[in-house]
Structure 1
Amino acid sequence: MPPLLHSPFINSKYRLIEEEIFSLLSISTSFNHITQIHARIFALGLHQNNFIATKLLTLCSSTSSINHAFLLFNHISNPTVCLYNTFIRALSQNNLPIQTLKTYTQMKNAQIPSDNYTFPFLLKACATLPPSPPLGRAVHGEIIRTGFEPDPYIRNSLIDMYSKCGSLESALYLFDESPTRDIVTWNSIIAGCFRRENVEKGREFFDKMPQRNVVSWNTAVAGYAQNGRATEALKLFRRMQYEGVKPNGVTLVGVLSACAQAGAVEVGKWVHRYIERSGIRMDVLLNNCLIDVYSKGGNLREARRVFDGMGERSVVSWNSMISGLAMHGYGEDAVSLFEEMEREGVEPNDITFIGVLSACTHAGLIDEGRRYFSRMVEHGITPKVEHYGCVVDLLGRGGCVIEAHELIKNMPIPPDAGIWGALLGACRTHGNLELAEQAVIRLLELEPWNAGNYVLLSNIYAAKGCWDDVERVRERMRGRKVQKTPGSSSIEIESSIHEFVIGDRSHPRSKEIYEKLEELGMKLKLAGYVPNTNSVLHDICEEEKEHALNVHSEKLAIAFGLIATPPGTPIRIVKNLRVCGDCHSATKLISKIEGREIIVRDRIRFHHFNDGMCSCKDYW
């Protein structure tokens, strides 16, 4: 007579019980379900069943119940390779790289052989650690030793790991040596190139791909956006549409990021309408991106509409809206929104306070800024160098230059170039030449290659008529071969970005643009405009100085906007540098003469010019 445990009746009964457990696991969605099922497993004496334990571990991972996964795994007497792989995957997916590698070491010590499912998640763990090729190389050595390197999935994971760990050369070598390359292989190397800022190589691989999927397009679009190449990102997105590839939510996050950088609010609006038409779920991430696009595109009203319509908000949502209000000069509204955020029980983080302090800076709210800086400690946030930079900027812009300098001297952390730059900018505004020279000395120690530092000091000397000192600064720049960053301004017309530099004549409508500039020049003089030529090179005549100012990139972009858009519509300009004083004065008058709202986003903030006034109240 066969043993009872091997009888068909008992085996059939256990199969039914297992099926019941698997059925429960398949419909479970919460930690509460997991604990109930686990209790039933214990009651049935199935807690050492590796197959059931594997299914339960997978559920723990998908519901982020990782602590329970630890408890479950540690109570298995003889885990199999399948169970180890499942636990390694769970740890890796929950961003626990150290524990992932420790579990693999435990698996090796137990003399359980790895298989091709073991290594991809180990490599993912190595990739999420701080750049550390040696760890990844050690795992690579194990892969070679166990003979799994030819496995396509493992090879793709190796390419991804090396690029994330900063060893693009190794990733390229593996790609070149791959006997077969599937679409994942191509996507991995393209992502690696863009990640390591090798944009041209990434595009080269993208163009060479034998076939592409939506991930390929997403990788390239996001890659351009993440490398500050917004125009190329938007061009590639248009090509993606032309080729009939349907974008998904990931695509649109990358596109919206590019729109925010370029100030391409019309493309952003199209994306917004596309999301609503196509039924793509408007999650928190997409909403946050839209707030960013509308804020940085100068349409604060629409940004606020998106924010107010969100059913669920993250701290990033509040931060984006607060920062948007701050950039546009609505300091009091930004502060009010911060107070609302606190009332709703949303805990601010360090980025929140950067937004609030920036709001105080742009609105000249000195006392409020001091108070919020002190309140950071109440929220358990230690001020970082960025917060000190905001306060130095706040005090400096408000004329408290000496207080700002004292704050720098008493900082518990070393001041960076941003802080000395803020002080130098304040010295420029308030004409404190002695302190400006001290700030420049510090800046040149930290950033000897940064032309902006030399230019600011040169402008301070020029404003005071110290032309010998101006020449000395410029001679030093030439001696160090420091190049000034060329100013550029862009404008979006019918979803296309048009970019201008100083004296630009490359635009197809250049003749019309310069005719409009000449017309504006005459109208400005009749309105009492006097060009501010103080900071223009002193070794040219006044007429040449005026011409140099008249062909600044933002004036070219405004002139183009006036001839290319219907009367009465707003003109939106994005400039890569700070708006100069002369262009600021001229744009105020142009807004009144032409009856247009002109919105200029410069490196510092937004300027809303309307009827001869600016939202910054000449404080920027």
Structure 2
Amino acid sequence: MIHGLSQSDQPWKALHMYCKMCLQGLSGDNLTFIFVCKACARLKDVFEGQKAHVHVLKLGFESYLFVSNALIHMYGSCGELDFARKVFSEMFERDLVSWNSLICGYSQCNRFEEVLGLFDSMQAASVKADAVTMVKVVLACIYSANWDAADYMVKYIKENDIEIDVYLGNTLIDMYGRRGLVDLTREVFNGMQERNIVSWNAMITGYAKARNLVEGRKLFDEMPRKDVISWTSMIAGYSQANQFDGAVKLFRQMMVAKVKPDEITVATVLSACSHLGLLDIGEAIHDYIKSHGVKEDVYVGNSLIDMYFKCGVVEKALLVFREMNRTDSVSWNSVISGLAVNGFANHALELFELMLRQLVRPTHGTFVGILLACSHAGLIEEGLQYFDSMEKVYWTNTRNETLRVRCRSFEPLWQS
């Protein structure tokens, strides 16, 4: 019963059943604690896990390899790496599962240097890794950008004939894709006996990152099934390559295919609309966001602000800004610059003062907008004062080239 419940969608019932068993004076056997630990791991309930650990020690079950492995997995899943390491260190016997359980725990806690260190210790102990190990180790290389170590791991996989399953294959595709090594990415993809939609999406993303849209689109069209990530990755590829027409066209095809876009999709397409000045499509997307419950996060809000300002619709841009649940410095910078470009310099300066009162720290982008506003309004003295305050008050580097260009825009006004 505990076994089945620990693997169900209600693992807490396994712990409830174990408590009832204890109340009846039954202690359980070594298998009982394996499944109790599994339930605790899934619930991230370290309190109940430690209670189970106490019972394990009282009953002498810590000498069972599988019980100790379950304890390591439980503590690692709960983020209690010191306890996991202690159980591991006190084991009389360790196997591959012991090492993998500890490595997985460190990986889940983003302790990537320790993951690589454990892999080295594992090799020193002459324990051969498997696909599970290599997924976590290659991920550690990715997140620490340790490409030399990543290349060594690929060599290790080949030399030890480790089977590249769908999870390891996807991880290798991601690793090569982040480095722009699309030929190696395709080599892994072609060699995979089993692929899932993550495999295809990772390939599309890799081609997009490398700006190889021809091959990326060819693969996209060959996909047996496309989800929102597939469409968004390809749309983003067009946008990143400044092929904004292609991004908008593909978005229209996505709508025809009845795939609901997410916040990343709409932010990407709105950016393309901004560059092309496609107000009608931008407004249609805004209406779609409202009517279909697309999450309006700060990135979507910023994209709408940018689109409306670049299309000259100032009131709608300001309305979006006022209705945003959360703003960031990009939001403020977009509004300040948008107002300046559209001839509302004084309003831009007022908004800057409001930004400071709300304790939002200005950035380079803020001062670019402020200097632009002063330049448009002919406010020479004010512009120079803002420029002077950048380093003295806000510790902003005035050697930024964009800022220097904006400041030089005052020279004709000064000389007139």
Task: Give the TM-score taking structure 1 as reference length.
Answer: 0.53
- Change in Cα spacing, 1:331 to 1:108, as seen in structure 2 (3 Å) is same
Distance in 2 between residues matched to 1:156 and 1:141, nearest whole Å: 17
Give the match for residue 52 of structure 1.
74
Verify the 8 A CA contact 1:233 1:255 in the aligned structure 2: yes
Give the match for residue 116 of structure 2.
104
Give the match for residue 183 of structure 1.
197
Aligned match for 2:404, one of 379, 384, 389:
389
1:83 matched to 2:102: yes
Superimposed CA distance per residue, residues 178-215 of structure 1 (whole angstroms, 9 cap, x where no aligned partner): 44443322222221111111122211221222332222
Verify the 8 A CA contact 2:170 2:202 in the aligned structure 1: yes
- Change in Cα spacing, 1:55 to 1:103, as seen in structure 2 (3 Å) is closer
Give the match for residue 117 of structure 1.
132
Give the match for residue 260 of structure 1.
274
Give the match for residue 205 of structure 1.
219
Distance in 2 between residues matched to 1:150 and 1:14, nearest whole Å: 31
Instruction: Give the Å deviation of 1:391.
Output: 4.0
The 5 A counterparts of 1:33-52 are 41=50, 45=54, 49-52=71-74
Report the count of equivalent residues.
Answer: 368
Give the match for residue 163 of structure 1.
177
**Aligned-partner SS, 2:78:** helix
Distance in 1 between residues matched to 2:204 and 2:186, nearest whole Å: 10
Give the match for residue 422 of structure 1.
none
Larger radius of gyration: 1
Task: Determine which structure has the larger strand proportion and give its number.
Answer: 1
Aligned match for 1:335, one of 349, 358, 370:
349
Instruction: Give the Å deviation of 1:243.
Output: 2.3
- Change in Cα spacing, 1:204 to 1:312, as seen in structure 2 (3 Å) is same
Instruction: Give the Å deviation of 1:170.
Output: 1.6
Give the partner amino acid of 1:348: P
- Of the structure 1 ranges 18-27 and 117-126, higher mean CA displacement relative to structure 2 is found in 18-27
Verify the 8 A CA contact 1:123 1:136 in the aligned structure 2: yes
Instruction: Give the Å deviation of 1:309.
Output: 0.9
Instruction: Give the Å deviation of 1:40.
Output: 9.3
Distance in 2 between residues matched to 1:396 and 1:165, nearest whole Å: 44
Superimposed CA distance per residue, residues 367-418 of structure 1 (whole angstroms, 9 cap, x where no aligned partner): 2222222323333333342354344433345355xxxxxxxxxxxxxxxxxx
Give the partner amino acid of 2:211: E
Distance in 2 between residues matched to 1:200 and 1:276, nearest whole Å: 34
- Change in Cα spacing, 1:332 to 1:76, as seen in structure 2 (3 Å) is farther
**Aligned-partner SS, 1:339:** helix
Superimposed CA distance per residue, residues 521-561 of structure 1 (whole angstroms, 9 cap, x where no aligned partner): xxxxxxxxxxxxxxxxxxxxxxxxxxxxxxxxxxxxxxxxx
Unaligned residue ranges in structure 2 (runs of 5+): 1-23, 58-67, 90-97
1:288 matched to 2:339: no
- Of the structure 1 ranges 236-245 and 377-386, higher mean CA displacement relative to structure 2 is found in 377-386
Give the match for residue 8 of structure 2.
none
RMSD: 3.6
Distance in 1 between residues matched to 2:147 and 2:300, nearest whole Å: 34
The 5 A counterparts of 1:237-316 are 237-316=251-330
Task: Determine which structure has the larger helix proportion and give its number.
Answer: 2
Identical amino acids, percent of aligned pairs: 30
Give the match for residue 364 of structure 1.
378
- Change in Cα spacing, 1:24 to 1:372, as seen in structure 2 (3 Å) is farther
The 5 A counterparts of 1:366-515 are 366-377=380-391, 378-399=393-414
